[in-house]
């Protein structure tokens, strides 16, 4: 083995040991992602404290919601690693869907003087990582989250290039349950030039007891803690 090859092998080995030590294996290929419902890219902050914006969108309460449960686990993990977290509650804030009026010119203030414009957008502009959280609704994101996402239009350029992540929960557990939403999310990542740092596709998690007895809670914490 020549020197270059040796360094490569040692580096990969060290990375694998580090990630499994965190209880988090970097899963990058589609087959594994489909089987486990999770992908994550480990340490993406370079040890610096990141500003994270979490957008919850379930109309279920904090104590009932499956997606809020996983989001909170992720937040607990991220805070334990010293990151700063802002949570936006899309289902309970005053929001308006984009009217396509183009007054913003895709790079300015929205005509709506609502919580998206006044509470969320200032935090998003400062954020390093955006986390979309949704229950699966008819194989897509909730209308509450889609309302927020469409309003990204007003700041398309300014919020491009950020890191992103998605957490979604669903009742069904067939391997195609999340396919359409995953395609949508990955297309969004591509268009916005985001860097995807994690995906949690929590199938078979239709109720609070189902999600609490699954492994997704632990995984969400570990992904947050390993950022």
Residues that bind ligand FMN (CB under 6 A): 58, 60, 65-68, 135-139, 169-172, 177, 205-206
DSSP 113-129: -SHIIIIIHHHHHH-SE
Strand order across the 51-56 sheet: 38-40, 195-202, 163-169, 129-135, 51-56, 84-89
Q: How far is the CB of 72 from ligand FMN (least distance, A)?
A: 11
Q: How far is the CB of 135 from ligand FMN (least distance, A)?
A: 3
Q: How far is the CB of 171 from ligand FMN (least distance, A)?
A: 4
Considering the complex, state which of residue 45 and residue 144 has its C-beta at the smaller distance from ligand FMN.
Answer: 144
Considering the complex, state which of residue 112 and residue 185 has its C-beta at the smaller distance from ligand FMN.
Answer: 185
User: What is the token pair recorded at 46?
Assistant: 């370079």
Q: Are 48 and 40 in contact (CB under 8 A)?
A: no
- Cα–Cα distance list, 203 to 49, 61, 109, 115, 139 (Å): 31, 20, 37, 31, 12
Considering the complex, state which of residue 45 and residue 142 has its C-beta at the smaller distance from ligand FMN.
Answer: 142
User: What is the token pair recorded at 8?
Assistant: 């490569």
> Shortest Cβ contact with ligand FMN: which residue?
135
Question: Residue 87: beta bridge partners?
Answer: 54
Considering the complex, state which of residue 65 and residue 147 has its C-beta at the smaller distance from ligand FMN.
Answer: 65
Instruction: List, in order, residues 6 or more apart from 50 with CB less than 8 Å away.
Output: 78, 83, 84, 128, 129, 163, 227
Where are the alpha helices (H) located in the chain, listed in sequence order? 3-21, 30-36, 66-80, 115, 121-126, 143-150, 179-191, 208-212, 216-225
Considering the complex, state which of residue 101 and residue 138 has its C-beta at the smaller distance from ligand FMN.
Answer: 138
Considering the complex, state which of residue 20 and residue 209 has its C-beta at the smaller distance from ligand FMN.
Answer: 209
Q: How far is the CB of 12 from ligand FMN (least distance, A)?
A: 37
Q: How far is the CB of 51 from ligand FMN (least distance, A)?
A: 24
Q: How far is the CB of 106 from ligand FMN (least distance, A)?
A: 30
């Amino acid at each position: 083995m020549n020197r270059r090859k040796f360094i490569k092998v040692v580096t990969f080995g060290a990375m694998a040991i580090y990630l499994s030590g965190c209880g988090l294996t970097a899963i990058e290929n589609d087959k594994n992602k489909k089987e486990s419902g999770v992908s994550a890219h480990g340490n993406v902050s370079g040890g610096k404290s990141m500003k994270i914006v979490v957008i919850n969108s379930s109309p279920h309460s904090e104590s009932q919601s499956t997606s809020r449960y996983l989001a909170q686990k992720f937040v607990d993990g991220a805070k334990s690693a010293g990151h700063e977290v802002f949570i936006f509650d899309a289902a309970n804030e005053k929001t308006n869907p984009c009217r396509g009026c183009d007054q913003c010119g895709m790079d300015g203030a929205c005509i709506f003087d609502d919580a998206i414009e006044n509470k969320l957008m200032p935090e998003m502009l400062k954020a390093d990582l955006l986390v979309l959280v949704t229950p699966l609704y008819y194989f897509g994101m909730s209308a509450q989250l889609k309302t927020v996402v469409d309003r990204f239009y007003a700041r398309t350029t300014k919020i491009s290039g950020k890191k992103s992540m998605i957490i979604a929960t669903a009742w069904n557990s067939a391997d195609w349950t999340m396919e359409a939403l995953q395609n949508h999310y990955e297309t969004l990542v591509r268009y916005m030039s985001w860097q995807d740092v994690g995906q949690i596709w929590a199938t078979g998690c239709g109720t609070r007891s189902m999600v609490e007895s699954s492994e997704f809670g632990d995984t969400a914490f570990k992904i947050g803690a390993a950022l």
